[in-house]
Amino acid sequence: MAKNPKVVADSVLKALGGEGNIYRVAHCATRLRVELYDDSKLDKKAFDSIEGVNGYFYQSGQHQVILGTGFVNKVFAEFVDRGLAEGEREKEEGSGDSNKTTIQQLTKTFADIFIPVIPVLIATGLLMGMRGLLINGFGVELSDPILILSQVLTDTAFTFIPVFVTWSAMKKFGGSPVLGVALGLMLVAPQLPDKWAVSFGDAEPLLLPFLGFDIPITGMQSSILPAVFMGWLAARIEKAARKYVPEALDLILTPFITLLFSLILGLVMVGPLILGLENLITSGIMYFFELPFGLGGVIYGGAIQFLAITGMHHTIVPITVKMVAETGYDLINPIGTAAIAGQAGAAIAVIIQQKNKIKRSNMFGSVIPAFLGITEPVMFAINLPKVKPFLFGCLGGAVGGGLASNLGIAAAGTGSTMLPGLLLYIGGGFFQYILVILVALATSFLATFFAYREKEEVEQPELKQTASNG
């Protein structure tokens, strides 16, 4: 029977304490991400009995309800119809994020900025894979017009990534998104010397005299952190301007002030410093993954799911985006895939051991998204609550990640992992990528199957409770 999003939305709302307790609602690929006025009104146990809900967990100051790909959009639409969409409700001054740690606030900020951008990167990555399949897989020779059109499809998003980031950052920090688009376009304006042309000595930077010094200015193609900073800065400037600009002049002066001072402070003064910091971080990450014996892959493949528990894995997204934009390849992708395959293998072992048909069916629904590259349902609904399967899944990720590093494979794009990610390896590393998945999956499956057993005395009361409720 098809799940009814309206019924599920009603049940989820009741478990969250009712419509009046909802402060903010957003969603990602598989989960509702909810913030409440009063957390004490939450009924965690109620989620276990809602058909269509695959799990619940609390992370980075948000109550996250796992619904699965596609279905989460339908349930979120029900929240929108009730006027509960993000940004439509207000909280009292002084409440909200004050109880979150700095790290939680930082990771949530990165998540809120990059989650809206990820679908574009996934689509672009798959288009890269399709082109690779045609050229390298089937030996198709593309004519010049078709090749150029394919490059428009595959290269535009990464070339103009600052535009997407400043738009999303402006929206996140409460500014006007259209001003964020304008600022992002200014960062990659054709009038400015191309950053890569300057780096390779094919162009000279624009020199701006300032206090006896010449400030070198270039475009910020493929830059991420400067775009985030520009979005934050512009939102602050716009809010400040609206406090002092008369309402009759607001339409004219506020955008003017925002763009002018954001460009001066962001592109000319602070932006280059942020760009230097970004380059330093990226260089460090690249060095880490080039450690001998695949050590970087072992550490990342085994540890990334621990970061996912806290939400800190979102801080990796800017690095992978910049890596692809600069080099055309993503070294982290196959290692992250190994981590997901590890969790999937452990969950499959748990499912095979599960004797209750209803529980086994619900678990199976949670493991399917893992093969599409989405790890949260299988991790939070199956492995993490049982502890050992989660650790064995991390073991599989470490083994697979080390293998990926030793093989030296990389994706020709980013955003897609597991089975959808196969397209990113058509041009090279296809079979090695499959081998990494199989090794990670087999390692965690065998470790879990032979070293983990559920205790019947723990599960039995739950079975009785289920029967009595039926």
Whether 394 is catalytic: no
List all residues 6 or more positions away from 243 whose beta carbon is below 8 Å from its beta carbon: none
Distance in angstroms (rounded) separating the CA atoms of residues 421 and 327? 18
User: Among the residues of 115-190, which ranges form H helices?
Assistant: 118-132, 144-159, 161-172, 177-187
Helix, strand, or coil (residue 140): coil
Catalytic entry in 13, 22, 28, 341: 28
221-248 burial, b at 16+ Cβ within 10 Å, e below that, comes to bbbbbbbbbbbbbbbbbbeebeeebeee
Name the DSSP letter for residue 313.
G
Q: How far apart are CA 330 and CA 424, in angstroms?
A: 10
Angle formed at CA 194 by CA 188 and CA 200, multiple of 5 degrees: 150
Helices first, then strands: H and E counts in the chain: 20, 6
The phi, psi pair for 418, rounded to 5°, reads 50, -135
274-279's contacts with Cβ under 8 Å and 24+ in sequence apart are 274/225, 274/226, 274/229, 275/220, 275/223, 275/225, 275/226, 277/225, 278/223, 278/224, 278/225, 278/226, 278/318, 278/322
Q: Which bin fits 96, alpha (ψ -120 to 50), beta or left (φ > 0)?
A: left
Active-site positions read 28
